[in-house]
Chains A and B, each alone.
Chain A
Amino acid sequence: MFWFLVIQIIGTGFSFGQTKTKKILVIGVDGMIHSAIDYATTPGMDRLIADASYSMEGYGGVPANATTGWSTLLTGVSVDKHGVRDANSFTGHHLDQYPSLVKRIKNINPSIRVASVVRDQAINTVLNGDADIRLNHGSDVEVFEKAKEVLAGQAADAVVVQFSSPKEIGSTSGYQLRQAEYVLAIQQVDAYIAQLHNVVKERSTYAEESWAVFVVSTHGGTETGRSANSTPEEIKVPLIFSGAELDNKELVATAMPAKENADNFLTINKATTGDRTFGRIPIAGTALQGMDKFTIEMWIKAGANSSDPVIMGDKDWDSGGNSGFVICRSGSSWKINFANDKRARYDIGSSKSIEDGKWHHIAVSFDKTRECVVYQDGERVGSAELSYKAGDSMTSPFNYIHLAQDGTGTYGGGAPNWAGSFNEVRIWTTVLSEETLKKYMYLPDVEKTDHPYLQFLNLYLKMDEVRGNQLADHSGKGNHAELVGPASERHPYYPIGLTDVAINVLGHLGIRADGAWGLDGNSLKSNLPFRLFKVN
């Protein structure tokens, strides 16, 4: 054991009883899209990723702009709490209740010296007013030069740096990797990051310090450069948490347990026992039974399936002529089948695959006497004129709409049930246009938006539950669903988000977040300062 310890000490440089001084560099980049690091040449960020908890598909938040993003990053709470929504103003902020982490650091431990070197002066006046060093400059290169100077010296323990050139280029010529100008902006920022990292490592006191370097993007952007605030390209951001003894790995949503107060999703597997697993929504006596008009939309990610299991339905799928509807697997794609009480049936399908391991938005709008339209990922992919009469009944004899099973809950095709993941399941008892579907399909918490048809929302399963067998209906109509069976899992839709920055900065600096602060982020440091090793 003695020799083991000697080898360990030599190998790691660890010395008994000595605690290194915690230091941190947080670099916020405005407008670095989530796919940038894959496509651009970014050796600086690649080097950080090698020792990081990271995701290229983190959640930046809505609205996706720099002012809101910086507020989320520095307060550690979502926009609902900090209140900063405008792209160029902090109007309406609640920073008195949810202050910047700089204020928290200085309140708890005034000896920690904070420097804030940014492009946007308002960040220093509104968010980082408590920083010991506050500098703002008109260009990234000036910010870089100043940050380099601060990091080389001994005047700061925590340094916040803002680069904005990707946003400036992207907003004028598009956030797209086919544009050399945008790629060059990303690569220039990466070069700044690499050099700042080098400056940190070359500090004369580096051996006695424990540095963390976090690089995050405050928002993404669209290929056109126009802001829609509702597209994944804008909402998804890369987040790199390097050092700080965090869990060293790529964070993958499907390998993480669901998180409290987060956008989670539900996965239904095929139980090896053969027992069926499904969700069931009671519809007896509700507006969801025998709908003459509806729009059903949901996000799904298909698992391994065969035959024609049902993704959602209220009818007996043993016959397509039975009354009611099912949305079911069809080859590697999907379709809707419905029939009236006279067994007049329609089958309208998508031609696009859903079995590619990716999330897809599927939607069906139905007007009994007019038309049924099928959408996939916001695009119209199928339709049929309907010849039903006003007096025809579409009502199934069953009292549940099931998820992953048909109305009977016992359909045998592809048994025991459809395998796959669900998120944001919505049923509207009216027909939504393609434009409306596209505008709101990416937005969580749709009940809090300006969606023009909220009064027709009769089912909204966010699937955000962390545990339990209830699938809460957020439509306000009380159509709560029940999860039945043994083979379900819940995971976060986004593995990490901008709200995770503040709590991990505080954690690295040895500041334990108080529950009363209401921070929304999660610590990525699940490990205590312990390690295990095998013994003979």
Chain B
Amino acid sequence: MFILMGMLLVTSCEKEMADQTGESAEQLMAGRLSGTWANPTDIVTPAEVPAEIFGEMRLVFTMDGVGNPAEFLGQGCPIVFSAMKSSWSVSGAEDAALVKLTGTAPVDEFQARVDANNLTLSFYMGWENLETGETGEGDFQVTLSRQ
């Protein structure tokens, strides 16, 4: 019972804080990410994987009328995001956010670090060279600039 009361208290505090700003933590982060990001730079891939794997990556995050995450467009980078249109959610803070995608593959979640001008995505994935059959896994990272 004590634990339950504690949980209710925490829930209540969170709700109260959200009400003070008018926006939830997800809405605040969604606002940071909302918009168009392009021009991949500062690319990190495993040694055997070329930087071009990110293609002409251009990401668009949209929000609904009340500021919640709505559509995610992952353009020009079909190896990373197979579907051009999917939906998204976000948690965490601007220096360590987690973006989850629904309706696209193979990358369906990534870490994001965002400021006024740049968005850095990072994720850990397996990779396969379809011509040689070589495989591996490792860290991928790319920085995009706000359009």
Separation of A535 and B131 alpha carbons in the complex (Å):
21
Q: Tell me whether B63 and A272 are in contact (CB under 8 A).
A: yes
Tally inter-chain residue pairs, CB-CB below 8 A.
89
Q: Which of A1, A14, A272 interacts with B133 by CB under 8 Å?
A: A14
The answer, yes or no, to whether A10 is at the interface (CB within 8 Å) is no
Q: Tell me whether B73 and A255 are in contact (CB under 8 A).
A: yes
B 113-134 binary contact with A (CB < 8 Å = 1; else 0): 0000000000011111111110
Separation of A257 and B78 alpha carbons in the complex (Å):
14
Q: Determine how close the nearest CB of chain A comes to the CB of B90; give it in whole angstroms.
A: 15
Q: Tell me whether B79 and A5 are in contact (CB under 8 A).
A: no
A 231-267 binary contact with B (CB < 8 Å = 1; else 0): 0000000000000000111001001110000000000
Q: Tell me whether A272 and B31 are in contact (CB under 8 A).
A: yes
The answer, yes or no, to whether A527 is at the interface (CB within 8 Å) is yes
Q: Tell me whether B36 and A489 are in contact (CB under 8 A).
A: yes
Separation of A247 and B78 alpha carbons in the complex (Å):
7
B 61-74 binary contact with A (CB < 8 Å = 1; else 0): 00100010000010
The answer, yes or no, to whether B6 is at the interface (CB within 8 Å) is no
Separation of A487 and B135 alpha carbons in the complex (Å):
41
Residues of A within 8 A of B50 (CB): 528, 530
Interface size on B, residues (CB 8 A): 40
Residues of B within 8 A of A14 (CB): 130, 133
Further contacts, 5 of them, CB under 8 A, given A272-B63, A527-B79: A5-B133, A248-B78, A256-B75, A531-B128, A533-B127
The answer, yes or no, to whether A8 is at the interface (CB within 8 Å) is yes
Q: Tell me whether A257 and B38 are in contact (CB under 8 A).
A: yes
A 1-42 binary contact with B (CB < 8 Å = 1; else 0): 100010011000011110100000000000000000000000
Q: Tell me whether A527 and B58 are in contact (CB under 8 A).
A: no
The answer, yes or no, to whether B84 is at the interface (CB within 8 Å) is yes
Known contacts: A257-B38, A526-B55. The answer to whether A19 contacts B31 by CB under 8 A is no
Residues of A within 8 A of B126 (CB): 532-535
Q: How large is the interface on A (under 10, 10 to 19, 20 to 34, 35 or more residues)?
A: 20 to 34
Separation of A5 and B135 alpha carbons in the complex (Å):
9
Residues of B within 8 A of A272 (CB): 31, 34-35, 63, 67
Residues of A within 8 A of B140 (CB): 532
Q: Tell me whether B106 and A530 are in contact (CB under 8 A).
A: no
Residues of A within 8 A of B108 (CB): 534
Q: Determine how close the nearest CB of chain B comes to the CB of A35; give it in whole angstroms.
A: 23
Residues of A within 8 A of B129 (CB): 529-530
Separation of A256 and B128 alpha carbons in the complex (Å):
27
The answer, yes or no, to whether B56 is at the interface (CB within 8 Å) is yes
Residues of B within 8 A of A534 (CB): 106, 108, 125-126
Q: Which of A17, A252, A489, A533 interacts with B125 by CB under 8 Å?
A: A533
Residues of B within 8 A of A249 (CB): 78, 84
Residue of B nearest to A533 (CB): B126
List 9 A-B pairs, minimum CB-CB distance, nearest first: A16-B133, A535-B126, A529-B130, A526-B55, A532-B125, A529-B131, A533-B126, A532-B106, A247-B78
Separation of A255 and B76 alpha carbons in the complex (Å):
9
Separation of A1 and B134 alpha carbons in the complex (Å):
12
Residues of B within 8 A of A533 (CB): 106, 125-128
A 321-341 binary contact with B (CB < 8 Å = 1; else 0): 000000000000000000000
